[in-house]
Amino acid sequence: MSAMRWIKVAMACVLGVGVVAASGGGGNSPTEVTAFGLDERPRNVTCVAPARPGTTSTLALARAFPNLSFSLPVAMMQAPGAANHWYVVEKTGTVRRFAADDAANASSLVVDLTDRVDAGPNEAGLLGMAFHPEFGANGYVYLSYTGQAGGLRSYVSRFTSADGGASLDPDSEVVILSIDQPYGNHNGGHIAFGPDGYLYLGLGDGGSGGDPDGNGQNTHTLLGAMLRIDIDVSAEDWAAGMRYYIPPDNPFAASTGCGNGGGCPEIYAWGFRNPWRWSFDRDTGELWLGDVGQNQWEEVDRVERGGNYGWNIREGAHCYDAGSCASAGLIEPVAEYDHSVGRSITGGYVYRGGAIAALHGTYLYADFSSGRIWGLAQGGQGLGLPRQLLDTSHSIAAFAEANDGELYLLDYGPGHVHRLVQDAGGGIDDFPRQLSETGCVDPATPSQPAPGMIPYAINAPFWSDGADKERFLALPDGAHVGVANDGDWSFPIGTVLMKHFRLGGELVETRLFVRHDDGDWAGYSYEWNDAQTDAVLVEGGRAKDINGQTWTYPSADECLQCHTAAAGRSLGLETAQLNTDFTYPSTGRSANQLATLQHIGIFDESGAGLANPDTVPMLAAPFGAGDREQRARAYLHSNCAQCHRPTGGTASSMDLRYATTLAATNTCDVFPEGLDLGINLARLIAPGEPGRSLLAARTARRDGYAMPPLGSHLVDDLGVALIEEWIQELTTCP
């Protein structure tokens, strides 16, 4: 049997409102409300997460240093010639170190620069670190970060260690290079020494969405370019204030400055949108780079001196502006992929380790949003086609190369380190292809849940193109749900969440979102047959016309792009969402869901406070009665906040969670960090002016600029009206 692309639940896997006698979403219960809707927890002997579908992969990720986690790690490395320690760069402004062979895995602080690092925007912060090739002799370490000095700026600074790398003196900073940043995104920031001994710095185009100023094609700015400088300045020139030389073979080395003549002398190559992680092949010296795309294409570039890589004329190998696509002189990407399989590339390394012989010479890269990892093999005939190596649930912010050539990956949200290892793979593939075989439904009547399923509803549903939804939860017997301080719920291994979708009363899809035995979540989509007797597992995403309406069965990678780790994966299952009455079909009784679930023993001790729902938050029903701002904020929480929150993986610094104050959402009277859709005087939210508000404009679209960006073909007219009316009522920002 050929390998299948296993489907993961898209966007709304765990959001929505039940339709089986449910009173969620702000409606009144059709029956008398009682203390508890269920008397006891149903036994669940059939609906437990099955083993993952079989795979032929011989690779796996293993948690390295399991006792360690870091705060938003963006880089990890070892010092030249010293494999005894690892250094981890944390976006917030700190560097930590730990011993590679320490079983306890205790880390120590190397330097704290939080007093000068501006890590507020999602793509800003402490972004890069490079040891001088002669670090052992001179103690020099270079850090790349964004800071505020009359506006956002990128800095590359030299720091000195007097103790072999155990610490860096923050007062030893000498700024080598600084560049104005017009926006808080597309900052790039990675630095590394090349095999030629020069220091390289990758910078994005400065933000502004489609790069309307053409920074990628403007060689008179340092933005949108790969820079190369010689930092080994003589003592005499250093004393005179010179911090670097220009390598004589840089493309514009003869220029005396960015505004004088041919271009900026620091530029090595240009035409990049946002180079997010790049590396040198330790055997060949070739420079490999992952460039994050705009609307549709992510690309891999093999960078040459003086090369123009096309942005913003092209995105990947495709015209970005169809009206102007003069491609003469542009260098093609060596690989690309579209946004059906991922949305934010993370460049990696050419594998030169010894543990996985089959990967030798293969360039590895990943996608931050989908967790996919690819390999691009090289051979006597040049480059082969990219091959997917792994499909993970990790938010891969960076690869790391050990001094011995073995590769590691950084999982951004939880801050874990994983190692790429050899794996036997190829397990028996007995994953259920029919919904009736899953154990989560009545096999004789698959439209009905199995006895162990617990139905539920939520207050603020996710927009799913007008579909009605029924929702169910199944836990392994004896397992419990944890409740975090912010009201999010955590689920045990073996959990299955199920949702039926109906259009015009007919079942069209059922999605299972499951937590496998490896601890990772995955989703599976089943398409109902016309006779409504069963549903079949969908192999790969596809769209289908249903009575004149396009319906999307999500692809394997669209699921975790919205079911983010930052949002706890399960999304709708949180305290404020389930704090509402629900009528339980098995008893006919209507009762508060939190009180009922606590009564039947679903929660561990962290859920004790849910016995009294009046003491915990309740999310407003967007289309019910009550305060319009609260209803609009609830709508944004369900439809947007899974990504638009800290560590959510977007380029924006918006935080649209319901509990975030409006002032802290970073939206009110805030300039867009990226595109403005051509709106004059655009703001994310312009008080009293929905026509100038990108938040409203993008909600009302269903093109490449739509929000949410996946899985929907119809505008939610009621939702758009709610957002516009709320913005119209705003008179000022808090």
Q: Tell me what pLDDT residue 15 has.
A: 30
Judge whether 226 and 200 are in contact, CB under 8 Å.
yes
Q: Which two tokens stand for residue 679?
A: 């709106």
Residue whose tokens read 């009665």: 625
Q: Give Dmax (Cα) for the chain.
A: 87
Q: Tell me what pLDDT residue 32 has.
A: 60
Provide the b/e sequence for 655-676 (b: ≥16 CB within 10 Å): bbbbebeeeebbbbebebbbbb
Judge whether 701 and 690 are in contact, CB under 8 Å.
no
Once rounded to an integer, what is the mean pLDDT over residues 63-71?
93
Residue whose tokens read 């020139």: 237
**DSSP-assigned letters across all residues of 639-659:** HTTTTSSTTSS-SS-----TT
SS3 content of the chain, % helix, strand, coil (to 5): 10, 30, 55
Q: Which residues contact 444 (CB under 8 A, 6 or more apart)?
A: none
Question: Which residues are paired to 482 by β-bridges?
Answer: 490
pLDDT band of 3, cuts 50, 70, 90: very low
pLDDT tens for each residue of 159-217: 999 999 999 999 999 999 999 998 888 999 999 999 999 999 999 998 865 555 679 99
Residues counted in the chain:
734
Q: How far apart are CA 17 and CA 459, in angstroms?
A: 7
Residue whose tokens read 């399989």: 341
Q: What are phi and psi of 532, to 5 degrees?
A: 60, 30
Res. 540: pLDDT tops 90: no
pLDDT tens for each residue of 132-157: 999 999 999 999 999 988 789 999 99
Q: Which residues contact 2 (CB under 8 A, 6 or more apart)?
A: none
Once rounded to an integer, what is the mean pLDDT over residues 220-226?
96
Question: What is the pLDDT of the chain when averaged over all its residues?
Answer: 89
Residue whose tokens read 């052992």: 136
pLDDT tens for each residue of 623-655: 999 999 999 999 999 999 998 888 787 767 899
Res. 14: pLDDT tops 50: no
Contacts of the segment 602-605: beta carbons below 8 A, 24+ positions apart = 602/41, 602/454, 602/475, 602/480, 602/481, 603/480, 603/481, 603/482, 603/483, 604/480, 604/481, 604/482, 604/483
- 3-class DSSP assignment, residue 677: coil
Question: Which residues are paired to 417 by β-bridges?
Answer: 64, 410
Contacts of the segment 202-205: beta carbons below 8 A, 24+ positions apart = 202/226, 202/227, 202/272, 202/275, 202/278, 202/289, 203/154, 203/179, 203/227, 203/272, 203/275, 204/123, 204/272, 204/273, 204/274, 204/275, 204/292, 205/272, 205/273, 205/274, 205/311, 205/312
What's the per-residue H, E or C state across 484-535?
CCCCEEECCCCCEEEEEEEECCEEEEEEEEEECCCCCEEEEEEEECCCCCCE
User: Residue 313 carries which side chain, given as an amino acid letter?
Assistant: I
Q: How much of the chain exceeds pLDDT 70, in percent?
A: 90
**DSSP-assigned letters across all residues of 301-369:** EEE-TT-B--TTTEETTEESSTT----TTBPPPSEEEETTT-SSEE---B---SS-GGGTT-EEEEETT
H-helix or E-strand spanning residue 598: helix 593-599
Q: What is the DSSP letter of 164?
A: T
pLDDT tens for each residue of 307-333: 999 999 999 999 887 666 888 899 999
Res. 28: pLDDT tops 50: no
Q: How far apart are CA 162 and CA 172, in angstroms?
A: 10
Q: Tell me what pLDDT residue 323 has.
A: 66
Once rounded to an integer, what is the mean pLDDT over residues 332-340?
92
Res. 669: pLDDT tops 90: yes
Q: Is the model more confident about 51 or about 281? A: 281
**DSSP-assigned letters across all residues of 199-219:** EEEE-----STT-TT-GGG-T
Answering whether pTM is above 0.75, one says: no
Q: How far apart are CA 505 and CA 214, in angstroms?
A: 50
Numbers of helices and strands, H then E, in the chain: 8, 42
Burial of residue 732 (number of CB atoms within 10 Å: 0-12, 13-18, 19+): exposed
Res. 259: pLDDT tops 90: no
Q: How far apart are CA 69 and CA 269, in angstroms?
A: 36
Q: Tell me what pLDDT residue 623 has.
A: 95
Once rounded to an integer, what is the mean pLDDT over residues 545-556?
85
Q: Tell me what pLDDT residue 315 has.
A: 93
Q: How far apart are CA 88 and CA 670, in angstroms?
A: 33
Q: How far apart are CA 383 and CA 304, in angstroms?
A: 16
Q: How far apart are CA 286 and CA 107, in angstroms?
A: 33
Question: Which residues are paired to 406 by β-bridges?
Answer: none
**DSSP-assigned letters across all residues of 3-35:** --------TTTT-S---SS---TTPPPSS-B-S
Residue whose tokens read 């539920």: 456
Res. 12: pLDDT tops 50: no
Q: How far apart are CA 643 and CA 652, in angstroms?
A: 9
pLDDT tens for each residue of 71-85: 999 999 999 999 999
Q: Which residues contact 240 (CB under 8 A, 6 or more apart)?
A: none
In the chain, CATH 2.120.10.30 covers 59-421
List the one residue out of 351, 335, 346 whose CA is nearest residue 399.
346
pLDDT tens for each residue of 413-453: 899 999 999 876 544 467 898 999 999 999 999 999 999 99
Once rounded to an integer, what is the mean pLDDT over residues 509-534?
91
Q: Which two tokens stand for residue 518?
A: 């490896």
Q: Is the peptide bond before 312 cis (omega within 30 degrees of 0)?
A: yes
In Å, what is the CA distance from 233 to each residue of 168, 176, 181? Answer: 21, 11, 26
Q: How much of the chain exceeds pLDDT 90, in percent?
A: 71
pLDDT band of 340, cuts 50, 70, 90: confident
User: Residue 681 carries which side chain, given as an amino acid letter?
Assistant: L
- 3-class DSSP assignment, residue 689: coil
Judge whether 37 and 590 are in contact, CB under 8 Å.
yes
Res. 372: pLDDT tops 90: yes
Lowest mean pLDDT, pick from 178-182, 579-583, 708-712: 708-712
How is domain 59-421 classified at the architecture level of CATH? 6 Propeller (2.120)
Q: Tell me what pLDDT residue 213 has.
A: 65
